[in-house]
Amino acid sequence: MAKLRSPADLEKKREQIVSKRDPSKPCITICSGTGCHALGSDKLHEAIVTEISKNGLRRKVDVRRTGCHGFCERGPVVVIFPDETCYLGMKPADASEVISKTFVEKQLVERLLYKDGSGASVALEGEIPFYKHQTRTVFGNNRLIDPKSIDDYLAVGGYSALAKALLQMSPEQVLEQVKRANLRGRGGGGFPAGVKWETTRNAPGDTKYVIVNADEGDPGAFMDRSLLEGNPHVVLEGLIIGAYAIGSHEGFVYVRQEYPLAVSNLTAALGQARDYGLLGKNILGSGFDFDVTIHRGAGAFVSGESSALMTAIEGMVGEPRPKYVRTAVSGIWERPSNLNNVETWANVPLIINRGADWFTGVGTAGSKGTKIFALVGKVNNTGLVEVPMGMSLRDIIYKIGGGIRSGRRFKAVQTGGPSGGCLPESLLDLHVDFDELTGAGSMMGSGGMIVMDEDTCMVDIARYFTNFLADESCGKCIPCRAGIEQMLEVLERICAGKGEKGDIDLLEEISDVVRDASLCALGQTAPNPVMSTIRYFRDEYVAHIEQKRCPARVCKALVSYFIDPVKCSACGICLRNCPADAISGGKNLVHIIDQQKCIKCNTCFEICPTRFSAVLRISGEPVPAAPPLGTEVARKKGKQE
Amino acid sequence: MTIDGKEVEAEEGKTILEAARSAGIHIPTFCYHEKLTPYGACRFCTVEISKKGKSRLVTSCVYNVEDGLVVQTNSPKVIKIRKMLLEFMLASAPVLAEVAKQYGVEKSRFKSEVTQCILCGLCARYCAEVKGANAITFVGRGVKRRVAFVDEVVSSGVCMDCRQCFGVCPTGKIPRETDGASFEGITVQDVLSRMNRK
Amino acid sequence: MATAKARTTSAEVQGLSGQLPEAVLSRVSDKLGIPAGRLSRMVEVLEQVVQEKGDTDSIVEKYKADKSALIQILLEIQRERRWLPKEVLTSVCEKLGVPLSRAYRIATFYKAFSLVPQGRHLVTVCMGTACHIRGSPRLLDKVVKVVNVNPGETSADQKFTLETVNCLGCCALGPVIVVDGEYHSNPSSNELEGLVAACD
């Protein structure tokens, strides 16, 4: 690849690439993010290529492996251009039918299309409700490009913002645009990026660093993974523009090692950018030098905290520092260091190309632009969602998410990861932006949005998050290390049926100290999951403590399994599948669970056919006496009741 | 600036803790040592500061003095924090009972593994920053974090002649458990094999 | 990727065992009083040590013995060897000019590292929030039964290591299990047994 030595070279190259591509030529795209990969997109790709060959279509139809589309649960996702027909959950065995129906018979394969609530199918990707209500400004290019191809990125306009910034704007002008756009950090802090850039730029010292925080440790969040895997160049482009504005010549990308595909796609992207002269010395002939090193994490959530991350880049253990001086002034090796999240950097090329005024036209007064959320849990349509700031929780969960799955009822939505909180149904009309959720005791955070239904126990959720934080606490400071340990102990007692009067007050007392005295944000926000669930779901805590009852029937120690003799039809499925051999019964004989042997694994409850629904989960009440052995069923096999 | 109502002048670049000490005002600490970089682990030196009406809780060992700062070293919030910190410390280091009593903490409501260690890091930091031997380190994280002697350094004999870590340990754990000669039970390999067995 | 020096040494040693004529082997074994089989095995081990040392050296060289790359170097060694032997930590720290204590600190702080040999097959169960809501604790129970190892441990025959991880970023597919780098979404008990049986 010849180096591009000027914006004119870049545009010539771009034209060269685009002129060789015919937008009306059919192209089958296969999503190849980690999610679809886990569902077999590799084998699917092979099968499709084979079928194309078999049908003699190699010259007529392109096949492209793209970045993550976001509709992860329905993967593998296949979109056929130019019509943009979308097939979901396609398997290698479907390849032959899809190819022949699409290109020979010119028909749709109905069974692979999205079906809405009424059963009607939706063929166009853009019409699927999950996508229809989104505004995929940042994420949208993922579906059009092969992340391993810089040429694909150039074809959709990539690096034009970089050329504009380096050759048509001064660093101050670039900074001005980002400040005016009011781009706030997408990693959770929401700090105005332009202000941080300016602080770093003005801090004393000639050597400055820019950093991409791709540690994404919040469980339930995978926005950054998909961006970095699916379009590494947009992040890189934003980073180089930022470095130019700040006056930095050396950048770092800190990626967690649990994201191997992101690491490898990014490594390839850096190599390609260097080959084209978009990274390295004298970029595009501007005289600006800049290069990037990748630094992998090694399995610690706390290392995503900015001072901890910088310490890890220095080669020491990634623990937070107890300083009150901003890292923008004193960061890596005490030099000014500007750290921003992956999604924040990805917004920069857009701001430069379309201008701050365009950017501020979207969103709310205090939160401009769009935000990518990971909508997961008990909704029908789970995956990555990009919407303008200010959309309500209700719209996101119901319009885009398609509501609660399996006909259950909404109970709570958890936002902001382990630093955030749970919000109940009464707050569904809150607008999602940086400030509105904080007032209610949660926070928008990095974008994790976990929907919970009536089968979720909120005390168990608080225990889950506290356990996570106990595992991830670095242990340096006493309030976080010991405070979280003690909060966990209380929560575990409560879930084990050993809750005591005064436990809620104790949790609140410990929370105050952990929040006020901890060294870093992990400890300072650790009480949030507990405090927000106590605030909105206090009755569940009271039920666990005073009645030894788990309303959601989750906490094993408080739940007993019982087969209703009236409903049991002796089908034998639960008996055969019980891992503890705790169920006795026989043909036409009521099945009985031996309470001493039962390990509360929930298998019988899940496996009992819905039409019988004979397994009951009992909590807070005595288990009814089992019928005598040998009792016959009311409904016999084969007979209707 | 004022500390507990007393007007104090301090040099720019000094911390609140240093300024207080120069002015004869006592702020208690566990993990602070004049010869070592402030660590911020014990949080005991927390003070309540306010400027222009906004108040915050900060650790005085690392917060730099500012013009017009109002500092309270014994506000109700600070006292509450100190008391609970002592309850936490007592749970793993009951040997601190007498110290805790001085702050009005008679006993701890909490239970934890008794290690007689509050992980202040003075031993490891002193060995690294003053002695330069790096014979002591932290292993593990969170509640499993422990101090341990590096077997390879100990076996070189440098520790036997030095023993400076004995004097800085606030609970006396180091002198007690090393017994001056035998580091059994407190080396990295020992600590790790105990962790693996759990 | 051995360095030139290590490659030469390794080749010399390799050449030895492959070309050691039986007569020479048995004469040396007689003289030393060591059975020929054991002698041959010793040479194999020596080859392996030289090879592995070569790998460690080359990894350090790749990062130009930069102090700040300590964590990156240890990550690569962990991936190659499936653990971090003491001797390797000592040698890496010497080359980088950092105290050995720092390597122990790092190796015991991060989940990616193991100071004891791990199994040939790594099984990881995701315990992230979305997976938790979809039943990862129960999946973990099943996995523990099938591979007969507790989380965080390695089986006695060094076949399996079972780990839990706090989020893989595949939240829409939960609960997720990874076996030797291959991701699987919500496997049934049968599928689980099949995955495990396929590991030799």
Q: Is the pLDDT of residue C47 over 80?
A: no
CATH code for the domain of C174: 3.40.30.10
C40 located within any domain: yes
C93 located within any domain: yes
Short-list B149, B158, B162, B159, CA closest to B191: B149
Same domain, C132 and C99: no
Which of C109, C137, C160 is the last residue before a domain boundary?
C109
Q: Any CB–CB contact under 8 A between A433 and chain C?
A: no
Counted domains in chain B:
2
B91 located within any domain: no
B94 located within any domain: no
Same domain, C14 and C104: yes
C116 located within any domain: no
- Give the per-residue pLDDT at C9: 44
Domains, chain A, in order of start with CATH, read 24-138 (3.40.30.10), 158-360 (3.40.50.11540), 370-456 (3.10.20.600), 459-546 (1.20.1440.230), 559-618 (3.30.70.20)
B neighbours by CB contacts (3+ pairs under 8 Å): A, C
Give dist(CA C36, CA C20) in Å, integer. 11
C115 located within any domain: no
Q: Is the pLDDT of residue C2 over 50?
A: no
**Pair A604, A572: CB distance under 8 Å:** no
Tokens of A190: 């929401």
Sort out which chain B residues have CB atoms less than 8 A from A477's CB and list them: 40-43
CATH code for the domain of B33: 3.10.20.740
Average pLDDT (C90-113) is 96
Would the CB atoms of A481 and B119 count as touching at under 8 Å? yes
Same domain, C138 and C52: no
Nearest-CA distance C106 → chain B (Å):
8
The chain C residue lying nearest A300, using CA atoms, is: C110
Sort out which chain A residues have CB atoms less than 8 A from C139's CB and list them: none
Q: Any CB–CB contact under 8 A between C108 and chain B?
A: yes
Which of C109, C142, C165 is the last residue before a domain boundary?
C109
Which of C74, C109, C144 is the last residue before a domain boundary?
C109
In the Cβ-directed half-sphere of B174, how many Cα atoms lie within 13 Å? 26
Q: Which domain holds residue B37?
A: 2-74
B89 located within any domain: no
Counted domains in chain C:
2
- Give the per-residue pLDDT at C173: 83
CB proximity list for A441: less than 8 A, separation 6 or greater? A421, A423, A528, A531, A532, A535, A536
Nearest-CA distance A410 → chain C (Å):
14
- Model confidence at C44, in pLDDT bands (50, 70, 90)? confident
C146 located within any domain: yes
Same domain, C81 and C28: yes
Rg of chain A over all Cα atoms, to the nearest angstrom: 27
- Give the per-residue pLDDT at C19: 53
Q: Any CB–CB contact under 8 A between B119 and chain A?
A: yes
- Give the per-residue pLDDT at C21: 65
Which of B42, B74, B106 is the last residue before a domain boundary?
B74
Would the CB atoms of C108 and B139 count as touching at under 8 Å? yes
Short-list C116, C131, C109, C129, CA closest to C178: C131
Same domain, C45 and C90: yes
C158 located within any domain: yes
Same domain, C30 and C72: yes
Sign of CA dihedral A50, A54, A57, A58: positive
User: What type of residue sits at position C166?
Assistant: N
Same domain, C76 and C167: no
Sort out which chain A residues have CB atoms less than 8 A from B112's CB and list them: 482, 485-486
B21 located within any domain: yes
Q: Spell out, as residue ranges, where chain B has pLDDT lower than 70.
A: 180-181, 196-198
Q: Any CB–CB contact under 8 A between C116 and chain B?
A: yes
- Give the per-residue pLDDT at C13: 45
Sort out which chain C residues have CB atoms less than 8 A from B152's CB and list them: 90, 100
Give dist(CA B81, CA A479) in Å, integer. 9
Confidence (pTM) = 0.91
B109 located within any domain: no
Q: Spell out, as residue ranges, where chain A has pLDDT lower than 70.
A: 1, 635-641
Same domain, C82 and C146: no
Same domain, B127 and B192: yes
- Give the per-residue pLDDT at C1: 36
Give dist(CA A159, CA A152) in Å, integer. 11
Q: Is the pLDDT of residue C86 over 50?
A: yes
Q: Which domain holds residue C129?
A: 121-197
Sort out which chain A residues have CB atoms less than 8 A from C102's CB and list them: 316-317
- Give the per-residue pLDDT at A478: 98
Q: Is A234 exposed, middle or buried (0-12, 13-18, 19+ CB in 10 A)?
A: buried
The chain B residue lying nearest C116, using CA atoms, is: B196
- Model confidence at C8, in pLDDT bands (50, 70, 90)? very low
Same domain, B131 and B193: yes
CB proximity list for C11: less than 8 A, separation 6 or greater? none
Average pLDDT (C8-24) is 53
φ and ψ of B54, to 5 deg: -95, 130
Q: Is the pLDDT of residue C10 over 50?
A: no
Q: What is the pLDDT of residues A132-189, one digit of tens each?
A: 999 999 999 999 999 999 999 999 999 999 999 999 999 999 999 999 999 999 998 8
C99 closest CB neighbour out of B134, B148, B192: B134
Return residues 359-418 of A near C (CB < 8 Å).
Answer: 374, 376-378, 382-383, 414, 417
Q: Any CB–CB contact under 8 A between C132 and chain A?
A: yes
Residues above pLDDT 70, as percent of chain C: 87
Q: Any CB–CB contact under 8 A between C165 and chain A?
A: yes
φ and ψ of A570, to 5 deg: 60, 35
Same domain, C95 and C136: no
The chain B residue lying nearest A471, using CA atoms, is: B142
Q: Is the pLDDT of residue C69 over 60?
A: yes
C153 located within any domain: yes
Q: Which residue has the tokens 């060094």?
A: C158
Same domain, C17 and C41: yes
Same domain, C83 and C12: yes
Give dist(CA A306, CA A339) in Å, integer. 7
Same domain, C84 and C143: no
- Give the per-residue pLDDT at C34: 79
